[in-house]
Structure 1
Amino acid sequence: MTTHTAEPIGPEQQALEEDLVAAVVASFDATTDPRLKKVMQSLTRHLHAFIRDVRLTEAEWNTAIEFLTAVGRITDERRQEFVLLSDVLGASMQTIAVNNRAHKGATDATVFGPFFVDNAPEIPLGGDIAGGASGQPCWVEGIVTDTDGKPVAGARIEVWECDEDGFYDVQYDDDRMAARAHLFSDEDGAYRFWGLTPVPYPIPHDGPVGKMLEATGRSPVRASHLHFMVTAENLRTLVTHIFVDGDPQIEVGDSVFGVKDSLIKEFAQQAPGTPTPDGRELGGRTWARVRFDITLAPAGV
């Protein structure tokens, strides 16, 4: 990146730049959609303020265009590099913060991530989401309630995670569907399933976002986590994770800023031969268990 030494900005140059900002902002005055007008005019002001603040060089502008072009080229139906870019810049988490206001103890939301897949298979309560993915078995259970403490029956719970090698199913080339599923809470709001004990993993860093992280001395590694998306009638959709208490990566830093203290849970390790909640035989393997109670806010708050 070219080093740029800022020179003092005289009043004539300042007026020239401010006139341009005003002209571009005014170009959206005829926008009939008031929300679109507000967004475009605010975007214009902030974008120009950034360019003027750093005194962006033409070479840097070209580099930015090349970077965004590369992000677009690597993006396809299986990989969303723009989501990764939003995530590592904290834009995803900021959008979530703006749109998921704290409300009477509702469970905190966090980033959606780029690896969600529609039409994951349905499993029964107590079923296994692994689908052949490798990893330590983990029993996950909890109850879904609203903010008044009333159990939510029939809540749809989508769950997905990486395997023990740190890869999601969509990162393989064989069209597998593994370590993801959906299930529904019972009449008491309870849910339970077998998953895998989460492990830390790097976000895809073989593309332009990875090169940006390398250039800025940042790690691509995410703290260990298990994804949830919970939907229920008349309640706010929750997109969140739970994180593994004691994972050193939490202290180092999550590459997409997704960790919240309320979402760090104990994944209690169980010795070989410890009876499982549903009587499942694990052949002398160790396993883990975690409880995650979910509280959904009302829709529209």
Structure 2
Amino acid sequence: MANTQDSAFDGGYFDEEMSVEVVNSRIGSAADPRLKEVVSILTKHLHAAVKEIEPTHEEWFAAIRFLTETGHMCTDWRQEYILLSDVLGVTMLVDSINHRRPSGATPNTILGPFYVEGAPHYPNGANICLDQKGEPTLVRGRVMDVDGNPVEGATIDVWQTNDDGFYDVQQKGEQPEYNLRGVFKSDADGRYWFQTVKPRFYPIPDDGPVGKLLGDLARHPNRAAHMHFIVTSEGYDEIITHIFTPDCPYLKEDTVFGVKKDLVANFQHIDDPKMAEDYGMPNPFLLADWDFVLARKTPASNG
């Protein structure tokens, strides 16, 4: 128990009750102000958590071992600490804080680890599914500003898994290069459209310490079925977002908390030979109508 005879902070002697003040008092006056603020707040909440949990020495060393194993799992192509941030909801929280937008603007979600620069540029209507697996799907919509005006020439960069639940970079030599990836441009009316297949859910890498933690917490590793998009246009905030299928069993249980209610699309079953012919689709097919609403850059968002 702490010595409560004199709880006033009197310098650098450690005291359980005043532990935060003791530790934060060691930060020198020459420290960067933002770094001082961040470390002080982290120390405050870390010490509060330890005092509430009251871990045993064995539990504390188990936590240290977990962090050590997480670091050992990191490589040039796999970042286990980002995965840890994802499954604890921190990545989504940081993203939300940094992308507060006007009402009506399309919300952000996480980029994910499988974005690839240099995807092929296609004309509207092209089919990005090169392995011919999956349920044919037409995605179409408009890119607009928050006032409903069309945004011409916006870039729509899309990528997703194939029907087996893998991105092309996960199956090099099995999937065609740039399978289910493409870049499109909105026309004078802000319209875009392309052919693809219905996305499916898939597990995040769960063969490391983060995957074991999920198992210990009785949590599954699955991401809800989605398509990724990056939408850009000069003078507007960049959107990094997803659209999700409404019938996915993991829609409200996405393991990285990436689902926002406003990003759930309606995938309609269409049986219309004339419409299929107009869009070059087989009949029947799925249709996802989805508009992107861009917010104008502000001085703060310009950096």
State whether TM-score is above 0.5. Answer: yes
Look up the match of 1:123: 122
Per the alignment, residue 143 of structure 2 pairs with 144
Deviation at 1:61, TM superposition (A): 2.9
- Bigger CA drift: 115-124 or 86-95? 115-124
SS at structure 2 position matched to 1:265: coil
Residue-by-residue CA offset, 1:143-178 (whole Å, 9 max, x unaligned): 111112222222222211111111112222449432
Following superposition of structure 1 onto structure 2, how do residues 1-301 of structure 1 map, counting pairs within 5 Å?
Answer: 11=4, 16-132=15-131, 134-174=133-173, 176-251=177-252, 253-271=253-271, 275-276=275-276, 278-280=278-280, 282=282, 286-300=284-298
| CA–CA separation in structure 2 for the residues paired with 1:246 and 1:88 | 22
One-letter identity of the residue aligned with 1:16:
D
2-structure distance, mates of 1:260, 1:60:
35
Is this contact kept in 2: 1:126–1:278, CA < 8 A?
Answer: no
Mapped contact 1:224–1:247 kept (Cα < 8 A): yes
Q: For residue 141 of structure 1, report the CA deviation from its aligned partner.
A: 0.9
- Considering only CA atoms, is the larger Rg found in Structure 1 or Structure 2? 2
Go from structure 1 to structure 2 and tell me whether the alpha carbon gap of 1:62 and 1:163 turns closer, same or farther (over 3 Å shift): same
Q: How far apart in 2 are the matches of 1:95 and 1:173? A: 32
Cα displacement string for residues 75-105 of structure 1 (whole angstroms, at most 9, x for unaligned residues): 3343332222111101111112212224131
Q: Conserved in 2, the CA contact under 8 Å of 1:201 and 1:222?
A: yes
Question: Residues 293 and 48 (structure 1 numbering): CA distance in 2 closer, same or farther, change over 3 Å?
Answer: same
Q: Alpha-carbon deviation of 1:264?
A: 1.1
Tell me if the contact between 1:92 and 1:111 (Cα under 8 Å) persists in the aligned partners: yes
Q: Supply the distance in 1 between the matched residues of 2:97 and 2:18 (Cα, whole angstroms).
A: 32
CA–CA distance in structure 1, aligned partners of residues 182 and 145 of structure 2: 23
Q: How far does residue 32 in structure 1 lie from its aligned partner after superposition? A: 4.8
Question: 3-state SS of the aligned residue for 1:248?
Answer: coil
**TM, length-normalised to structure 2:** 0.85
**The residue matched to 1:11 in structure 2 has which SS?**
coil
Question: What is the distance in 1 between the residues matched to 2:166 and 2:3?
Answer: 54
Gaps of 5+ in 1: 1-7
| Contact 1:84 1:113 (8 Å CA) reproduced | no
User: Normalized against structure 1, the TM-score is what?
Assistant: 0.86
Q: Which amino acid aligns with 1:268?
A: Q
1:50-73 deviation line (CA, Å, top 9, x unaligned): 222212333333322332233233
Q: Deviations over 1:175-223 (max 9, x none)?
A: 9432222222223221111122011222221221111110000111122
Query: Does structure 2 retain, via aligned residues, the 8 Å contact 1:142–1:192?
Result: yes
Stretches (4+) displaced over 4 A: 12-15, 271-275
Give the aligned length. 291
